[in-house]
């Protein structure tokens, strides 16, 4: 098992990958560097290997697919994930890994938004999208994560081996953040500098389609992890609309004894029934979510014991173990 594994997912980053590997080697000389090539059509893998990185491949396209492969294959006490586009200086890498190794952090977030991101990034919709996601997730999940979409993070062994990867693309960062928050894992923020891509390097992120996928993923995870809140809001909206349309009907009935709009009354009745069903569905799913959290704690305990066995000093005899 490695002490520190640096994970670099890459797709067509020949312009920057060699420098990134050298910078990592300088900042964390004790780390093992893994570059996962995701069907690059340029010299990314060749240049990374020449710089001293271990080259692995993921043939299913998408950043989520790459991270799934990395998390399954690599065994380490601490994982540092960084993009291969040279947008993150490595001067904070040591601080981030120390928080995992020495302060029991499960995930350390490299916070770009509190430093130079808004001045360096030249795509205004990205600035707006990052701010929107930070506001939305912190409000919905009652947390204080400073940067939701950053690709610069450090993880513990327990986080990596208990994180189920479902996303295929760039919404993976949102999924990782909400997973850590939902299971009450220790999350810390480290302010990091951000610099825009060098000239000639092209972002693989599509502002609109990837942005919509991220928002959809956030709402999906909110439904899965906070079902009573999610379905309770649906119940509230349905009942409120039904009552709003029913009030004039009741007012007319009490005044004249007549019900002039029976179809509206019937539809409102069905809306109230749908709201009640939504509320009870949320209650049932909330109980299932609570059970899943208990099961997660058992899984995390087993993973922690497994890590302890793998990191025992090899010189110990079986009796000493």
pLDDT 10s digits, 172-184: 888 999 999 999 9
Of the pLDDT bands very low, low, confident and very high (cuts 50, 70, 90), residue 316 is: very low
Q: What is the pLDDT of residue 320?
A: 39
Q: What is the pLDDT of residue 203?
A: 66
Q: How far is CA 86 from the centre of its chain?
A: 21
Average of per-residue pLDDT values in the chain: 88
Domain spanning 2-225, CATH class: alpha beta
Residue 315, pLDDT > 50, answer no
∠ Cα 275 277 183 (to 5°): 100
Mean pLDDT throughout 24-36? 95
Nearest to 149 by CA among 168, 165, 127, 164: 127
> If you count DSSP H runs as helices and E runs as strands, how many of each does the chain have, helices first?
11, 7
Of the pLDDT bands very low, low, confident and very high (cuts 50, 70, 90), residue 19 is: very high
Can you tell me whether residue 80 is helix, strand or coil?
strand
Distance CA(288)–CA(285), nearest Å, equals: 5
Residue 197, pLDDT > 90, answer no
Query: Residues with Cβ < 8 Å from 18, sequence gap 6 or more?
Result: 47, 48, 50, 51
Percent of the chain that is helix, strand, coil (3-state, to 5): 55, 10, 30
Cross-strand pairs, 107: 155, 187
Q: What is the pLDDT of residue 201?
A: 65
Mean pLDDT throughout 185-214? 78
Distance CA(9)–CA(153), nearest Å, equals: 13
């Amino acid at each position: 098992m490695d002490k520190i594994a640096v994970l670099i997912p890459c797709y067509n980053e020949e312009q920057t990958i060699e420098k990134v590997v050298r910078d990592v080697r300088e900042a964390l000389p004790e780390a093992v560097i893994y570059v996962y090539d995701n069907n690059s059509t340029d010299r990314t893998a060749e240049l990374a290997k020449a710089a001293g990185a271990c080259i692995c491949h993921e043939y299913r396209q998408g950043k989520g697919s790459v991270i799934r492969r990395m998390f399954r294959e690599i065994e380490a006490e601490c994982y540092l994930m960084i993009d291969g586009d040279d947008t993150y200086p490595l001067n904070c890498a040591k601080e981030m890994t120390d928080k995992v190794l020495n302060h029991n952090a499960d995930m350390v977030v490299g916070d770009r938004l509190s430093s130079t991101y808004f001045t360096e990034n030249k795509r205004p919709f990205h600035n707006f999208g990052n701010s929107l996601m930070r506001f939305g997730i912190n409000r919905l999940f009652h947390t204080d994560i400073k940067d939701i979409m950053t690709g610069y993070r450090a993880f513990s062994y327990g986080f990596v081996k208990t994180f189920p990867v479902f996303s295929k693309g760039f919404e993976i960062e949102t999924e990782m953040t909400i997973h850590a928050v939902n299971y009450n894992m220790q999350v810390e923020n480290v302010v990091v500098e951000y610099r825009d891509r060098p000239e000639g390097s092209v972002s693989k992120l599509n502002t609109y389609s990837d942005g919509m996928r991220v928002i959809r993923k956030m709402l999906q995870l909110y439904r899965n992890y906070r079902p009573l809140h999610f379905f309770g809001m649906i119940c509230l909206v349905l009942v409120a609309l039904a009552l709003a349309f029913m009030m004039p009907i009741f007012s007319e009935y009490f005044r004249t004894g007549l019900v002039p709009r029976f179809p509206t009354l019937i539809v409102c009745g069905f809306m109230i029934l749908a709201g009640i069903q939504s509320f009870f569905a949320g209650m049932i799913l909330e109980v299932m979510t609570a059970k899943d959290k208990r099961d997660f704690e058992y899984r995390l305990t087993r993973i922690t014991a497994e890590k302890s066995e793998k990191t025992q000093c090899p010189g110990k005899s079986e009796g000493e173990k």
